[in-house]
Amino acid sequence: MAALAATVFALGGALGESPGAASAPDPPLGGIDATAATKTLVKSLEARVRAHPRDSRALTLLGLAYEQRERETGNPIYVARADRLVRRAVRLAPRNAVAVSALASLALGRHQFRPALRLGRRALRLDRRNGAAYAIVGDALLELGRYDEAFRIFDGLAARKPGVAAYARISYGRELLGDTRGALEAMKLAESAAGGRAEPTAWTSVQLGKLEFSRGRPDLAERHFRLALAVFPSYAHAFEGLARVEAARGHTRRALALARRAASQAPLPQFAATLGDLYALAGNDARAREQYERVHRIERDLQAGGLRNELEVALFDVDHGVRLRRAVTLARRARAARPSVDSDDALGWALARAGRCGEALHFSERALRLGTRDASKWFHRGMIERCLGHERAARAWFRRALARNPYFSLRWAAVAREYGR
């Protein structure tokens, strides 16, 4: 039970996203059922809660187990179950620091960052040694744009409790600051700290794959995605990563097969969006529209479950040229709730697509203020400069984005190549 709690808190929260992997042999795509242990634990804890419905500790642990099931399956029903249980646990034992941390983790997962910060600090007041609470507080500060405070929290977490939670957050902080090499080093430490546990190891391997892909290295990325599948054969995030690798190689049919597998295993909007974009790339507009409609259905369901997803909805709509006026409104609302560099970028991109390019430039400058080396953000800046009539500056941004990652977007990389000539 303690190990489960550590796993949930190690990876819960808003995280962004080795040379040695290049020489490793390709692992098989087989393995054991990585979710069996969690399923068994859920059944055991459900029986205990039925027998002792006022046992705060059992309620909390079952809530954590449901959170882990959501991580393993992508099914949001487990979040609703966890929320009910953890709230009961906190009502029964308001000074239970683990229960309060679990409630903070749920708020964080729903992108309710100010409540997550408040609850995380409450958990720390109850137990200053609570590493999970430090991670949650740092994550919330990060999404609220309070970067210096967040980085201090992450450094303190690494000093107090080195492990997956600390190293993964250090990695994301370095990525935000444009230090991709340092981000890779920290995430490799996180992968080692996962100790072979299926879901944490798969998660860290996928993050390593994303980091390699973000700098235009699909072959290295593939090795990490396959390592994830070696320990967790049904891991949807790894299948989506491999779909992007195959698309980068021009293997659209292979990419579609992998993307379909990811979308069928986890009802997450990003998987449906990737599948839709691949159908569009293959010229199957009818199938693409089906997936885009599915994205909106999933987003509505997630909103009904309490997720604050204005940022994600706005970005999807802006990228796909639908409901642009509404997308600007959503992007403004997202930025008010989570004033991060990602929200600045989304608002700038939305304003540019709506033709309000002078206003967009201000937010693009803010989005790049940390030095983040993100090809998509650089492409958005190029589109803003082009909209303003700054053709020379625009070409420089397009070329910069493509030099960083020629495969940065299924929809927009080709546009960057055309405009960057």
pLDDT band per the 50, 70, 90 thresholds, residue 55? very high
pLDDT band per the 50, 70, 90 thresholds, residue 68? confident
Q: What is the pLDDT of residue 77?
A: 86
Whether 16 has a pLDDT exceeding 70, the answer reads: no
Angle at Cα 368 formed by Cα 365 and Cα 373, nearest 5°?
Answer: 150
pLDDT digits (tens, 9 = 90+) for 312-341: 999 999 999 999 999 999 999 999 999 999
DSSP 287-327: HHHHHHHHHHHHHHHHHHTT---HHHHHHHHHHTT-SHHHH
Whether 31 has a pLDDT exceeding 90, the answer reads: no
The CA-atom distances, in angstroms, between 216 and each of 126, 221, 265, 268, 383 are: 45, 9, 27, 25, 21
The one-character DSSP state at 26 is P
Least confident of 112-116, 247-251, 305-309: 305-309
- Identify the residue with better confidence: 27 or 159: 159
Walk me through the domains of the chain, giving residue ranges and CATH numbers. 1-16+31-161 (1.25.40.10), 309-421 (1.25.40.10)
- Identify the residue with better confidence: 8 or 253: 253
The pair of structure tokens assigned to 145 is: 């744009």
Q: What is the mean pLDDT of the chain?
A: 90
Q: What is the pLDDT of residue 94?
A: 95
The pair of structure tokens assigned to 27 is: 């692992």
Average pLDDT over residues 224-240: 96
- What gap in Å lies between CA 277 and CA 270, rounded to an integer? 10
Average pLDDT over residues 91-107: 94
- Identify the residue with better confidence: 33 or 123: 123
Tell me which amino acid residue 297 is. R
Whether 14 has a pLDDT exceeding 50, the answer reads: no
Q: What is the pLDDT of residue 151?
A: 96
- What gap in Å lies between CA 165 and CA 158, rounded to an integer? 8
Tell me which amino acid residue 5 is. A
The residues, ordered by sequence, that sit 6+ positions from 47 with a Cβ below 8 Å of its Cβ are: none
Do 314 and 330 form a contact (C-beta atoms < 8 A)? yes
pLDDT digits (tens, 9 = 90+) for 260-279: 999 998 889 999 999 999 99
Q: What is the pLDDT of residue 30?
A: 32
- Burial profile 386-416: b = 16 or more Cβ within 10 angstroms, e = fewer: bbeebeeebbbbbbbbbebbebbbbebbeeb
**307 exposed, middle or buried (CB, 10 Å; 0-12, 13-18, 19+)?**
middle
Average pLDDT over residues 218-229: 98
**pTM assigned to the model:** 0.87
- What gap in Å lies between CA 187 and CA 144, rounded to an integer? 23
Q: What is the pLDDT of residue 306?
A: 85
Q: What is the pLDDT of residue 196?
A: 86
pLDDT digits (tens, 9 = 90+) for 141-200: 999 999 999 999 999 999 988 999 999 999 999 999 999 999 999 999 999 999 988 889
Average pLDDT over residues 59-66: 92
Q: What is the pLDDT of residue 139?
A: 96
Q: What is the pLDDT of residue 34?
A: 52
Least confident of 35-44, 62-71, 96-105: 35-44
